[in-house]
Amino acid sequence: MDLQPSKLPSSPHDPPLTAIVIGAGLGGCAAAIALHHHGHRVLCVLDKVRQFGRLGDSLGLGDNAFSLLEKWDCNVSDIKNIGNQAPDMSIRRWKDGKVLAVQPLMDMAGYIGHRGDYHDVFLKWVDQRGIPVRMDSEVVAYEDTEPQPSITLKSGEKLSADVIVAADGIKSLARPLVLNMQDDPVSSGYACFRAFFKPDQSMKEDPACNKYLGRDCVNFWIGPDMHLVQNTLRGGEEFNWIITHKDDGDVPESWFQPGDMEEVRRLVGDLDPDIREIVKKTEKCLDWKICYREPLPTWVSPGGHRIVLLGDSCHAHLPTSAQGASQAVESAGVLATCLDLIKGKEEVKIATRCYEKLRFGRTRQSQTNGEDLRDRWHGVLKGADEEREIDPEDVKIKNRWLYSFDAEEDARTRWKSIRGVVEHEFLTGKINPLC
């Protein structure tokens, strides 16, 4: 499929609304695809990096994201085919691997695959629609003044559109510049050591290492204040582990900080031997401090209301939510739908204010779901005596309710009443904070 700009889906507005998206991560790509599908004209997607690498490791996409992507004519089997093919996942006891619960993999994150591979597919979908992605284009300033909101690139170039979408990630510059919010990362009290590698022949042949190497599979080992996720992809050609552990230190908030394998080996000293050895033999890992941000009282520029935040810039998730990317896809669909439902560009501010109101509660639920799971996993075995049976329900992942949700349909259903609230707020000049 090659959807050229000349073959833009028909627009609800004449002329079509124009949009610029900042950030070509999964959230920014989803925004571009959704806006295009709804007939809005995406002038470009800008990203500050010169080129993308295969960055990150495991990332999940749930059915709530797939159903929207499918509606937007994306061939979702491009993703499903490269995601983990295991039907089930097991939740095990840290010290001996005893199975505490077994669940369909779909209960967690749907398809878990490599973030870099998924990102490539999203970029391909953007490209198929003829939407230009401009690399090496760092946005350094935002302005929401008449006649149109605009951004300034590091090069000095200025660009404007009817609506500007800042999908610039957890370390968003839009958050301080557009919302005037202090960018205060909040430590979650945890950090992750993470490794993703191709196991070598000696690992594959070593019975101490290869129990989880022969096929796609996902397992979790949970213990007091820690858990380990193992994800084996491509029939055993690729292997990933992530250890979440208590951390009060000052690891910088970075996707690229090298981890200390000696510290990892110490942490896994009392781990189930069936997984311990391959972790211990891993050459290198990354150290991620798990930071989050307090919920924001607004996601929209206060002056003209035509610059909006989307994805991690306004609703970052803990890894245990397994929903960061999926919620960004939902937000993209809701924003595009709200822009459909207004009368024209003079009402963009109604669309953006409705968008944040429609999305806030849902993203909070999905964020706190991840906190709940982490706390259950880290608490359930505390002080538990060896013989006590653990109720599987206490450790199961409870994400399934999040998947059977059509965010665009929800936006259309609630549009009239939310629009009423927003119009009243504009009339009285008092916009109520989201929280």
- Contact, 121 vs 203, CB < 8 A? no
- Contact, 377 vs 226, CB < 8 A? no
DSSP letter assigned to residue 81: T
Q: Under the criterion CB under 6 A, does residue 408 sit at the interface with ligand FAD? A: no
Smallest separation (angstroms) from ligand FAD to the CB of 15: 27
Is residue 102 within a helix (H) or strand (E), and if so which, with residue range? strand 99-104
Q: Report the phi/psi class of residue 407: left, alpha or beta, with left for phi > 0 and alpha for psi in -120 to 50.
A: alpha
Smallest separation (angstroms) from ligand FAD to the CB of 391: 28
Question: Phi and psi for 16 in degrees, rounded to 5?
Answer: -60, 150
Smallest separation (angstroms) from ligand FAD to the CB of 219: 18
Binder among 43, 74, 139, 397 for ligand FAD (CB under 6 A): 139
Q: Under the criterion CB under 6 A, does residue 26 sit at the interface with ligand FAD? A: yes
Residue 227 or 345 having the CB closest to ligand FAD: 227
What token pair was written down for 228? 């380990």
Q: Quote the CA–CA distance of 288 and 281 in Å, as a whole number.
A: 20
Smallest separation (angstroms) from ligand FAD to the CB of 253: 11
User: Of the listed pieces 49-57, 79-87, 93-101, 228-236, which binds ligand FAD according to CB under 6 A?
Assistant: 49-57
Q: How many residues bind ligand FAD (CB under 6 A)?
A: 31
Q: Under the criterion CB under 6 A, does residue 426 sit at the interface with ligand FAD? A: no
Q: Under the criterion CB under 6 A, does residue 255 sit at the interface with ligand FAD? A: yes
User: Of the listed pieces 50-58, 257-265, 376-384, 415-423, which binds ligand FAD according to CB under 6 A?
Assistant: 50-58
Q: Which residues of 336-367 are buried (b: 16+ CB within 10 A; e: fewer)?
A: bbbbbbbeebebbbbbbbbbbbbbbebbeebb
User: Of the listed pieces 6-14, 35-43, 47-55, 124-132, which binds ligand FAD according to CB under 6 A?
Assistant: 47-55
DSSP letter assigned to residue 300: B
Q: Quote the CA–CA distance of 32 and 364 in Å, as a whole number.
A: 24
Residue 176 or 392 having the CB closest to ligand FAD: 176
Q: Quote the CA–CA distance of 294 and 290 in Å, as a whole number.
A: 13
For the chain, the maximum distance between any two Cα atoms, rounded to a whole number of angstroms, is 71
Residue 172 or 345 having the CB closest to ligand FAD: 172
User: Of the listed pieces 3-11, 53-61, 339-347, 374-382, which binds ligand FAD according to CB under 6 A?
Assistant: 53-61
Assign 394 to helix, strand or coil: helix
Question: Phi and psi for 378 in degrees, rounded to 5?
Answer: -80, -15
Residue 298 or 313 having the CB closest to ligand FAD: 313
Binder among 68, 173, 271, 275 for ligand FAD (CB under 6 A): 173
Binder among 3, 38, 47, 274 for ligand FAD (CB under 6 A): 47
Residues numbered 273 to 332 that lie near ligand FAD (CB under 6 A) are: 311-312, 319, 324-325, 328
Q: Quote the CA–CA distance of 254 and 135 in Å, as a whole number.
A: 21
Length of the chain, in residues:
435
Question: Phi and psi for 93 in degrees, rounded to 5?
Answer: -80, 135
User: Of the listed pieces 55-63, 68-76, 263-271, 417-425, which binds ligand FAD according to CB under 6 A?
Assistant: 55-63
Binder among 37, 38, 40, 48 for ligand FAD (CB under 6 A): 48
Q: Under the criterion CB under 6 A, does residue 167 sit at the interface with ligand FAD? A: yes
Q: Quote the CA–CA distance of 50 and 413 in Å, as a whole number.
A: 41
| Site residues (vs ligand FAD, CB under 6 A) | 22-28, 46-49, 55-59, 115, 138-139, 167-170, 173, 255, 311-312, 319, 324-325, 328
